[in-house]
Structure 1
Amino acid sequence: MTTPSPRLTKGPSGDEQDAQSVASTGAADAGLKAGLKNRHLSMIAIGGVIGAGLFVGSASGIAAAGPGILLSYALVGTMVVLVMRMLGEMAAADPTSGSFSAYADRALGRWAGFSIGWLYWFFWVVVLAIEATAGAVILEGWVPSVPQWAWALIVMVVLTATNLVSVGSFGEFEFWFAGIKVFAIAAFIVVGGLAVFGILPGSDGGGDGFSNLTSHGGFLPNGADAILTGVLMVVFSFMGSEIVTLAAGESEDPRRAVTKATNSVIWRIGIFYLGSIFVVVALLPWDSPAIAEKGSYVAAMDEIGIPHAGQVMNVIVLTAVLSCLNSGLYTASRMAFSLGGRGDAPRSFARTTRRGVPQTAILSSVAFGFLAVFFNYQWPDTVFEFLLNSSGAVALFVWLVICFSQLRMRRIILREHPERLVVRMWLYPYLTWATIGMISFVLVYMLTKDDTREQVVLSVLAAAVVVGLAVLRDRVRARRQVSAPKADQHS
């Protein structure tokens, strides 16, 4: 395992440096600059768990499970906390822009790091298209004279420019995007909580207390099975919590940043997810038509009596979309940078500019993002739907790889650098294996549902293709290494 530098520097030429010059474990961060401040990392850590899916996707979960959706969020939240604890253990010991891909490379083999790195990159490239389109829909509603495709283009270009300037500019944009999300959701919880307990003056929904949790068919109106259905609907809204471990590699104190983010993930999920959803299902009956028509948060704000709730939520959702776009482009480019540094992607991906920006990795990632946006407009029900489904279960694959990597990395860390084990997974290895069982159960359960079966099947096929390429590449390299000494002997 390599020793991470407390401050990342540029190459001696001051221009571009090939990250291949560093060790092959995946800590290919020598060309990156430590441009992220502590406040950037703190806000990325807090805001990373608040995706646009929380605001726009929770209504369908409430419709499926009723108030029991709280249990669905609690189950998935517990799973994410455990996965983040494992990832935090490895990242605190060896902060790197490759994060779990680099750890899989070290713990499971080159094929694993290659496969999960490219699958993760593919996932975020598709997400870029989804979020760009979602943002364009909102912006077109405000300025209809500009077509939707033009808004998507504008948003992508602006955030690409932001990422190309410096990692500090990315951090600054993300600080404010995430800050708005955090402030909005915190204000919603406080005001909504006052309304639930009847403290808020003039509230339309005050005084009911907790009656809505049980008075409309009970806490589980659709049966206990609906909790699992709710799990499938909310699990992907948690994707993004791992971004802070990639970003930590470009901070001045990576180990401290990762430790702090890992230790705070419990309260972040507890407050922002469980707290806000509790306010919604306590304020309104789960089967209220308003939730389905307006969305859960808009309906709750209308119930409280907040004026122009729909427009307020559009601003918040747009902020969440821009945040996801910004961090998604950053994440995809840093994963491509790490893959380039390990020889699993073109070497040009691992070169940085004078400002410490992996320019080729960023431009290549956004190019595929633009292509995905084009597919979304041109063939939304065929080509783009195929891309969407084939990346749908990647989040669960990533979490599984983190679990299996941690099982082995714990032993490697203890053998080589025990002093770096500053974050420890609880009840190792029992909770790690329990988490593997939970994630595997979710994948199997997805196969039993008509609306999620295709996602799992296509994602598995995509993973099989990437793993096959990784194995083939390893065999070719092994043959070259064997033939090289023979060629030297003949010469």
Structure 2
Amino acid sequence: MTTQQTLQKEGGRPGEPGTPQSSDGLKAGLKNRHLSMIAIGGVIGAGLFVGSSGGIAKAGPAILVSYLLVGAMVVFVMRMLGEMAAASPNSGSFSAYADRALGRWAGFSIGWLYWFFWVVVLAVEATAGAVILEGWIPAVPQWAWALIVMVVLTATNLVSVSSYGEFEFWFAGIKVVAIGAFVVIGMLAVFGFLPGSDNPGAGLAHLTDAGGFMPNGAGAILTGVLMVVFSFMGSEIVTLAAGESEDPRRAVTKATNSVIWRIAVFYLGSIFVVLTLLPWNDKSIVEKGSYVAALDSIGIPHAGQIMNVIVLTAVLSCLNSGLYTASRMAFSLGERGDAPKAFAKANAKGVPTAAILASVAFGFAAVYFNYAFKDTVFDFLLSSSGAVALFVWLVICFTQLRMRGILLREVPEKVTVKMWLFPYLTWATAAMITFVLAYMVYDKDNREVVLLSTLVAAVVVSVGVVLDRVRKARSAH
């Protein structure tokens, strides 16, 4: 029975409670260990390694509060998403739920915006990886490395979903082990228990000894929020991948429940180590990067090269997951009739070939723009997709407000994960996200990003509304 036949028989659309997901052409090729590592590694992006030094320079030790605020926001959003995904696992995740709860225009809009975000990320990460690889093997030009990386990971995704899962298992595993080791070794050095350390260990003194905990004022915390918020994007990938796992509900529940300690250890823990090993205004944090500077202060040899290997792993992981995520969102949009029908077709191995190739084609185009038109076309793509993460989180909030009632009416026994303090905490999270977006407009460094992203979002929403009205007019006749 095809997907459409199933839906006609049951009167449902993908994303509705009770709609079978196993018949959509995708296969349960992801094992529980794959999902566990995707969930853990999903919150550790290359932005954590590369972007944290800028946040520290702006906010000082108070950047910890910035990470705490954004981390709390992500925990709440993941709890909302987990509630919906555990009750109705779907490869379209929040896009399919928005379609159901807010209207088809909403599912269309947020689905395409999310797809756009990830295909631009493909170009950013491919270029970042190429820079590192060219440094090691300069005989191969940077553009060729970007091409090689994209081709290899495209091939991985085309083979089977299990090959994606296996690659991501090892990529994420390296990131997790590296950050875990960094936190443990760093903590030992901070409190003077690391044998042979070059850093005498100042304990907690560096949190206040260079101008206090908030050396640049409380306002710098909000600036820090803007700088770190985008490094958290990717935590929601596990809810898309769960649809192709052996036990979707168990995977989503486990990922949702563990997001608190993941953010606490990997983000707050690692940044805390950096800030307690070195004064926040130490020049090496900006010059070498926060993690390399911290490792150098301990006396770890070849810290720069070690971190390059870890960053490359994070980049490849992000590329791998980005291509997977974009293709599954395209597949879901095709399945719901909001993208070409070819996107909704999977081969015998359960791989949506057309959706993958379409996503990677745009990714290749973006890589080309990055080299040929970096200051014009690529800058526009980068800026116009920059605030999409916040739009996605906001839509998840409004979707969950409506979906709770729908789920309790139709499949109450499947509502096993519940948002805390509903609906008050959902509204509070939506208000916080809205405040961050408003502050981005106020902040001159982020104004262009949020305005261009809003412009692109407005165009996509307009298209979604028009298509929705056209469909309704046709069905009325």
Provide TM-score, normalisation by structure 1. Answer: 0.94
Distance apart, 1:206 and its partner CA: 2.9
> In the aligned structure 1, how far is the partner of 2:473 from the partner of 2:82?
37
Tell me, yes or no, if structure 1 residue 218 matches structure 2 residue 206. Answer: no
**Uncovered stretches (5+) of structure 1, i.e. residues with no partner:** 1-10, 12-16, 484-491
- The percentage of aligned residue pairs carrying the same residue is 77
Question: Contact 2:52–2:228 at 8 Å: present in 1 too?
Answer: yes
Question: Contact 1:98–1:334 at 8 Å: present in 2 too?
Answer: yes
> In the aligned structure 1, how far is the partner of 2:462 from the partner of 2:255?
35
Tell me, yes or no, if structure 1 residue 96 matches structure 2 residue 90. Answer: yes
> In the aligned structure 2, how far is the partner of 1:414 from the partner of 1:445?
36
Q: CA RMSD in A?
A: 1.0
Partner of 2:369: 375
State how 1:382-401 maps to structure 2 within 5 Å.
382-401=376-395
Distance apart, 1:202 and its partner CA: 1.7
Question: Contact 2:14–2:90 at 8 Å: present in 1 too?
Answer: no
Distance apart, 1:442 and its partner CA: 0.2
Q: Deviations over 1:43-96 (max 9, x none)?
A: 000000000000000000000000000000000000000000000000000000
Tell me, yes or no, if structure 1 residue 74 matches structure 2 residue 68. Answer: yes
Distance apart, 1:21 and its partner CA: 5.0
- For residue 195 of structure 2, what is the amino acid of its counterpart? P
Distance apart, 1:208 and its partner CA: 1.0
Tell me, yes or no, if structure 1 residue 443 matches structure 2 residue 432. Answer: no
> In the aligned structure 1, how far is the partner of 2:82 from the partner of 2:468?
29
Partner of 2:13: 24
Question: Contact 1:160–1:329 at 8 Å: present in 2 too?
Answer: yes
> In the aligned structure 2, how far is the partner of 1:114 from the partner of 1:440?
21
Partner of 2:81: 87
Partner of 2:237: 243
Q: Deviations over 1:400-447 (max 9, x none)?
A: 000000001000011111001100000000000000110000000000
Partner of 1:348: 342
Tell me, yes or no, if structure 1 residue 481 matches structure 2 residue 470. Answer: no
Tell me, yes or no, if structure 1 residue 291 matches structure 2 residue 291. Answer: no
Aligned with 2:159 (options 165, 183, 187): 165
Partner of 1:327: 321
> In the aligned structure 2, how far is the partner of 1:415 from the partner of 1:359?
37
Distance apart, 1:479 and its partner CA: 2.0
**Uncovered stretches (5+) of structure 2, i.e. residues with no partner:** none
Distance apart, 1:25 and its partner CA: 3.2
Partner of 1:197: 191
- For residue 154 of structure 1, what is the amino acid of its counterpart? I
Partner of 1:14: none
Partner of 2:131: 137
Q: Deviations over 1:80-127 (max 9, x none)?
A: 000000000000000000000000000000000000000000000000
Q: How many residues align?
A: 468
Question: Contact 2:27–2:244 at 8 Å: present in 1 too?
Answer: yes
Partner of 1:489: none
> In the aligned structure 2, how far is the partner of 1:219 from the partner of 1:91?
40
Question: Contact 2:239–2:252 at 8 Å: present in 1 too?
Answer: yes
Tell me, yes or no, if structure 1 residue 119 matches structure 2 residue 113. Answer: yes
> In the aligned structure 2, how far is the partner of 1:62 from the partner of 1:192?
17
Tell me, yes or no, if structure 1 residue 456 matches structure 2 residue 445. Answer: no
**Secondary structure of residue in 1 paired with 2:445:** helix
Question: Contact 1:248–1:258 at 8 Å: present in 2 too?
Answer: yes
Distance apart, 1:207 and its partner CA: 2.8
Tell me, yes or no, if structure 1 residue 181 matches structure 2 residue 175. Answer: yes
- For residue 457 of structure 2, what is the amino acid of its counterpart? A
- For residue 273 of structure 1, what is the amino acid of its counterpart? Y
Tell me, yes or no, if structure 1 residue 267 matches structure 2 residue 261. Answer: yes
- For residue 207 of structure 2, what is the amino acid of its counterpart? L
Tell me, yes or no, if structure 1 residue 317 matches structure 2 residue 311. Answer: yes
> In the aligned structure 1, how far is the partner of 2:159 from the partner of 2:5?
23
